[in-house]
Amino acid sequence: MTAQQFVSSNEIRARFSKAMSIMYQKEVPLYGALVELVAETNRQVLSEDAILANQLQITGEINRLAMERHGAIRVGTAEELKTLRRLFAVMGMSPVGYYDLAVAGVPVHSTAFRAVHETALQLSPFRVFTSLLRLELIENAQLRELAQQLLARRRIFTERALELITLHEAQGGLDEEQAQEFIVQALETFRWHSQATVSADEYQQLHDQHRLIADVVAFKGPHINHLTPRTLDIDRVQLAMPQRGITPKAVIEGPPPRNCPILLRQTSFKALEEDVAFIEHDGHEVAGHHTARFGEIEQRGIALTPKGRALYDRLLQATHDALQAPATEKNAVQYNQLLAEHFQAFPDDYAALREQRLAWFRYFPTECGLAAKETLDKNSSLEQLIALDYVRFQPLVYEDFLPVSAAGIFQSNLGDSHHTQYGTASSRTTFEQALGAEVIDELELYQQTQQRSLQTCAEALGVYKL
């Protein structure tokens, strides 16, 4: 079979994320209502803000606006995580970044499976925040044993999905029919099962240890726990949610509203209480509830360099220190004020962000630059070309997650009663061993994308080096 007959991994990812979205909207109708609200708000923003509409056009962002989504799952064993890595590889998704959530009282560590090249991201930005439960953090030995047994017993992938993953690895791709089948089979792993694999009593024990543990251990598979469309105005959607019968979390995670958005702002609606059936040891079912699945929205801004990120982390920490308590409905106004005050120290125009090397950019040759190609000094520097308006820059969008924000999203969906502090040090190496691969350093990816855009400019304008 030749490579031409294979469906591209970008195409499989795009189709898969669409199939997942349809499945989730059916499973959680309130998520469908959120998607509608976001689409409406995006249309309004674009019609009001011509500059933004134009910028999204230039960077090609406009094409992926409606499909911008991420999801999240939680798995229980190294074996499950390893196989997920192979499954996501079929869709051109690699593990990027390491997130330690134990420091925030959530007994998991995580990575994000996503496309890494800007062209692939443009075709489908879909990514999956994937967490591995840290069983060693369950203090009760008996309960830990029960969790291990339950996890060892379950099979979260269909036989056919596993065969198709192996086939993909052997032949280097999947043809049309195989790709279609793969999407159907892979989706099964993420489906919701209302029938638990434990008795009501076992569920309660797991739940009492940590709600997240019950969510990972007590079910047949790692159901997708939320999906996330992209909004152009998160504050507007946050305000509009209650009018649609959607209850948002208390505060938006991440930086405050800005002229030049940085990193990632997120908010979610609270997880729904859903009917489940527990299975007693004599085989009969008992009705109960489980609360895990929700909907989220995100607004992405420019990716920050290590220097910019250090400044972000410092200002966010200072905000939390000043609030002296977790952000809740009660202190939300105060939190937002403190956040805005502290972030005044973060430059809010792209030229300053670039000059101070706080953020990553993509560079584009201008029409007049291209027209001047023949007469241009081949030794021109980037700054000279920018001053001549031969080169312009656009923000490079942040494609990853933020550990403090992720912890906030987890916590708002786990009930506010859990603020356990775990003593055990996290370990990226342990995570990578479970994953069976190293996670990619996201900063290198941004640097490479910026560098590639400079290279393209240099070639287009015929200058030696940028």
Residues that bind ligand OOG (CB under 6 A): 72, 74, 129, 131, 225, 266, 296, 401, 405-406, 409-410
Smaller CB separation from Ni ion, 72 or 143: 72
Nearest partner of 136 among 109, 159, 114, 164, judged by Cα: 109
Nearest partner of 277 among 223, 224, 220, 222, judged by Cα: 220
Which of ligand OOG, Ni ion, none does residue 133 bind to, with CB < 5 to 8 Å depending on kind? none
Residues 375 and 461: beta-carbon distance below 8 Å: no
First vs last C-alpha separation in the chain: 41
**How far apart are CB 175 and Ni ion at their closest, in Å?**
33
Helices (H), 70-128: 78-90, 118-123
**How far apart are CB 298 and ligand OOG at their closest, in Å?**
7
Nearest partner of 67 among 22, 26, 134, judged by Cα: 22
Taking CB under 5 A as the rule, does residue 233 contact Ni ion?
no
Q: Which of residues 57-96 bind Ni ion (CB under 5 A)?
A: 72
Q: Which stretch binds Ni ion (CB under 5 A): 40-48, 105-113, 290-298, 410-418?
A: 290-298
Which of ligand OOG, Ni ion, none does residue 91 bind to, with CB < 5 to 8 Å depending on kind? none
Which of ligand OOG, Ni ion, none does residue 225 bind to, with CB < 5 to 8 Å depending on kind? ligand OOG
The SS3 call for residue 105 is coil
Taking CB under 5 A as the rule, does residue 296 contact Ni ion?
yes
* CA gap 93, 127 in Å, rounded: 7
Nearest partner of 29 among 294, 412, 236, 413, judged by Cα: 294
Report which residue type is found at 442: E
Which of ligand OOG, Ni ion, none does residue 406 bind to, with CB < 5 to 8 Å depending on kind? ligand OOG
Smaller CB separation from ligand OOG, 264 or 315: 264
**How far apart are CB 106 and ligand OOG at their closest, in Å?**
8
Smaller CB separation from ligand OOG, 172 or 415: 415
Smaller CB separation from ligand OOG, 108 or 385: 108
* CA gap 85, 192 in Å, rounded: 20
**How far apart are CB 129 and ligand OOG at their closest, in Å?**
4
**How far apart are CB 443 and Ni ion at their closest, in Å?**
21
Which of Ni ion, ligand OOG, none does residue 156 bind to, with CB < 5 to 8 Å depending on kind? none
Report which residue type is found at 192: W
**How far apart are CB 32 and ligand OOG at their closest, in Å?**
19
DSSP 407-466: HHHHHHTT-TT------SPP-HHHHHHHHTSPPBPHHHHHHHHHHHHHHHHHHHHT-S--
* CA gap 311, 62 in Å, rounded: 30
For ligand OOG, the nearest residue by Cβ is 406
**How far apart are CB 284 and ligand OOG at their closest, in Å?**
32
User: Rule CB under 5 A: which residues touch Ni ion?
Assistant: 72, 296
